[in-house]
Amino acid sequence: MIIDNILKLFRIEVSVRQYIVKASQVGKQENEQKKDNEAGKQPSVDFIRTIVAEDNRTKKWDCEVITRFPPEPNGFLHIGHAKSFCLNFGIAAENEGGRCHLRFDDTNPVMEEARYVESIQEDVRWMGWDWEEHLYYASDYFDQMHDYAVQLINKGLAYVCDLNAEETREYRGTLTEPGKDSPHRNRSIDENRDLFKRMKEGEFKEGSRVLRAKIDMSSPNLNMRDPVMYRILHAEHHRTGSTWHTYPTYDWAHGLEDSIEGVTHSICTLEFENHRPLYDWYLDKLEVHHPQQIEFARLELTYTVMSKRKLLQLVEEKHVNGWDDPRLPTISGMRRRGYSPESIREFCRRIGINKFNSTIDIALLEHCVREDLNKTSNRVMAVLRPLKVIIDNYPEEQEEWMDAVNNPEDPEAGTRKVPFSKIFYIEQDDFMEDPPKKFFRLAPDREVRLRYAYFITCTDVVKDDNGQIIELRCSYDPATRGGNSPDGRKVKSTIHWVSASHALHAEIRLYDHLFTKEQPQDTADGEDFKSSLNPESLTTLSDCMIEPSVKDANPLDRLQFERLGYFCLDKDTTKNEIVFNRTVTLRDTWAKIQKKGQTAQIRKLNI
């Protein structure tokens, strides 16, 4: 007995040592890959695609490529899920005859809702992927998984256990100590089959019994220490209703679903690597189709959280306004904020697929959306913090319609007409009464260009009783129509504007990072991730002014407000109120980061 225990401890120690050696061997390579990944360098063919290509070359799966995206319908998808389904659907699309299944792992009726199923399908479609007829649910296979469980019972490889949750943890052991056999481990096959049948029929209370696999309570891998396969839940399922009183655990269902569907490449995130021996054991003992499981690193972004549990907490505690709040990294939130599917897919392509965990700077994501929206978004003029301007020498009743370019990046986008009149609005920030040396915008006695219109000069400043500037009086040069001077004189600044009599009034929501810390989960004692919530993550501006061409825009239309940033028409817009969300500013932080890194590299080479 003593020798047996010593041998068990020795096996655990050897396993830990082997893991440490393996980690040290790949450490240097991963550090180099990590640097490239976080720098946003263009990825080469990733290791998963290399495996798939080799499998096709050797005809391992008869040249079939079948992947799947298996979300749990217990929340909304976020950009981390986008990385996964872009990988799975992408690999299927790249291989002739390949297909990717959309399968809902609906094994926990307590947390799942039909609305999550609908939102997930909407998000995947919006991102440009189609599963065609291959829409599946774990609940489709409840009967078959139950029959598989009975097979293991009949083989003496599964048993009903009466230990409660606390006792189960105690018997399980630790990383350095082997577990102990359950006192119910040696029940007869007949007794286990009878108890499992009665569990299914709802005879027992929740938590009173579970079905466990009989594997090895001394295994160095804790997942192999007689894991739970079924638990009792008297809950209504969103598809099967009250038919079932026992539900499969995720670990029991995971590999079986892939096997039943004939999946060839079961692509998972790294946390499932230690679960792979368990999935192998189940499939081997059942002697059924055995997909190849491949693990990759999940996505982590700065200034946000990707845990579905934490996102749910933010929603339920009303720190945000629902799952589609534009501050969240959910697909629905990003869509509402104005992110395009093309920009998200490009971001997923750039960060690549790796075998190590790393955190990506959110500036790279913002860079990708700027690149896409710069090419695809029409320009309009909007004033967020209006300052009234009156041109004294402009005719009272006159109005003109100026030609404006819709998108300089896309000649086919054409032009539009923008109204100009005696009274208009400019940004408050575009005027300073006592400007510093490098301020070139409007100031007393200074001439600037109005975009697409005229040169104007400030002649007077009007203030209220508190000394606040409320109005500017200006003159204009009629010869400069269109923004050029016949005499060739130059101005140092061009500013945008909106005609007062034609302006549409709007509410503008300016979004910033939801958290003030790059890593919100890194907290001091006594704090949680919510301690770094950004109180200025949303600023709402009312009575903003926008040119009238916007009146025909539809919700989710994306526009560039000239000189201000990219904005998206929100779903809260009504006939009487226009609401825009700022997607991202024009300033590209990521481009500056890259330029700084390149400069540092050049200096290093020069040394």
Q: Which residues are catalytic?
A: 72, 298, 308
Q: Are 46 and 355 in contact (CB under 8 A)?
A: no
Q: What radius of gyration, in Å, describes the C-alpha atoms of the chain?
A: 31
Distance CA 278, CA 260 (A): 17
Residue 93 CA from chain centroid, whole number: 22
Decide: residue 107, CB within 10 A, 0-12 exposed, 13-18 middle, 19+ buried: buried
Asked whether 561 and 569 are in contact (CB, 8 A), the reply is no
DSSP H helical ranges for 352-388: 362-376
- DSSP 3-state of 104: strand
Cα(255)–Cα(283) distance, integer angstroms? 7
CB distance 504 to 546 below 8 Å: yes
DSSP 400-466: EEEEEES-TT-GGG-EEEEEEESEEEEEGGGB-SS--TT--SB-BT-EEEETTS-EEEEEEEEE-TT
User: 581 - beta bridge partners?
Assistant: 509, 568
Any bridge partners for residue 68, and if so which? 101
DSSP string of 159-192, one letter each residue: EEE---HHHHHHHH--SSS-----TTTT--HHHH
Give kind and range of the element (H or E) at residue 399: strand 399-405
Q: How far is CA 43 from CA 151, 210, 551, in A?
A: 46, 46, 42
User: To which H or E segment does residue 136 belong?
Assistant: strand 135-137
| Sheet bearing 455-463, strands edge to edge | 494-495, 447-450, 455-463, 469-477, 386-391, 423-427, 498-499
Angle at 536 (CA atoms; ends 529, 75), nearest 5 degrees: 50
Please state at what angle helix 79-94 crosses helix 341-351, rounded to 10 degrees. 80
Query: What is the Cα–Cα distance from 434 to 444, expressed in whole angstroms?
Result: 8
Cβ atoms within 10 A of the Cβ of 486, count? 9
Instruction: Please name the residue that has the structure tokens 């500036």.
Output: 363
